[in-house]
Amino acid sequence: MSRESSDSLAEQHVREFTRAGVRAGLLAEADLRREVIEAVAAELPDRDAEETADAWIAEAREELRVDQESWPEATDYERLQTAFAELELSDVVALQGVEDHWEAKKLLQERASAGEPPRGVAWFTPPDVWHAVDHGMLEVNVWHGDTANVEPGDELLDDVLGILEKHGLSAQFDEGRIEVSAHWHRRIPAV
């Protein structure tokens, strides 16, 4: 592979990472900028990392602003948020965009140590969100309060699926995770 095509592929990957980060909205602006700068510096060392990151973030935000004008009044993202709020009311903690399963386990251990174990936890990672940004499917892990994964026939699984459905989200349990048909259309405010 030539250096030029390698650089082109690296640029494509960093641009996709930037776009997904902007659309996911999981990071504070400064954290997103830092991560994109690091990605540019690592993958495209001949570029000015800060200038490139700022330009690509601005480009991704503008693309999102234009796209969100055509979204329906209530997006899947907004329905997910109301479903997660209802889950919380039923003592199922919703951890959105956590680094990995250790975050969920830590939360469950902390709550158990405090004498307040939750009924369960629903969690997913940034790559799960990035997949939902473009492919309209969010994979959500659901554990009981003791970290045991839900299984078909579990009341907790049925309750989570019912709450998602109640909020207009089609979901099914497959291979240990809930697959929610949902595009992560998180709006950003107009400036």
pLDDT at residue 1 above 90?
no
pLDDT at 80: 98
pLDDT at 37: 98
Which residues, listed in sequence order, are joined to residue 141 by a DSSP beta bridge? 123
Which three-class secondary structure state does DSSP give residue 105? helix
0.85 surpassed by pTM: yes
pLDDT at 3: 53
Delimit the domains of the chain by residue range.
3-68, 76-181
pLDDT at 65: 95
Distance CA 39, CA 27 (A): 15
pLDDT at 189: 74
* pLDDT-wise least confident of 1-10, 92-101, 110-119: 1-10
pLDDT digits (tens, 9 = 90+) for 7-58: 689 999 999 999 999 999 999 999 999 999 999 999 999 999 999 999 999 9
Residue for token pair 């641009």:
15
pLDDT digits (tens, 9 = 90+) for 129-180: 999 999 999 999 999 999 999 999 999 999 999 999 999 999 999 989 999 9
Question: pLDDT > 70: what percent of the chain?
Answer: 95
- The 10 Å CB-count burial string (b at 16+, else e) for 73-82 is eebbbbbbee
pLDDT digits (tens, 9 = 90+) for 55-100: 999 999 999 999 999 999 999 999 999 999 999 999 999 999 999 9
Which three-class secondary structure state does DSSP give residue 128? helix
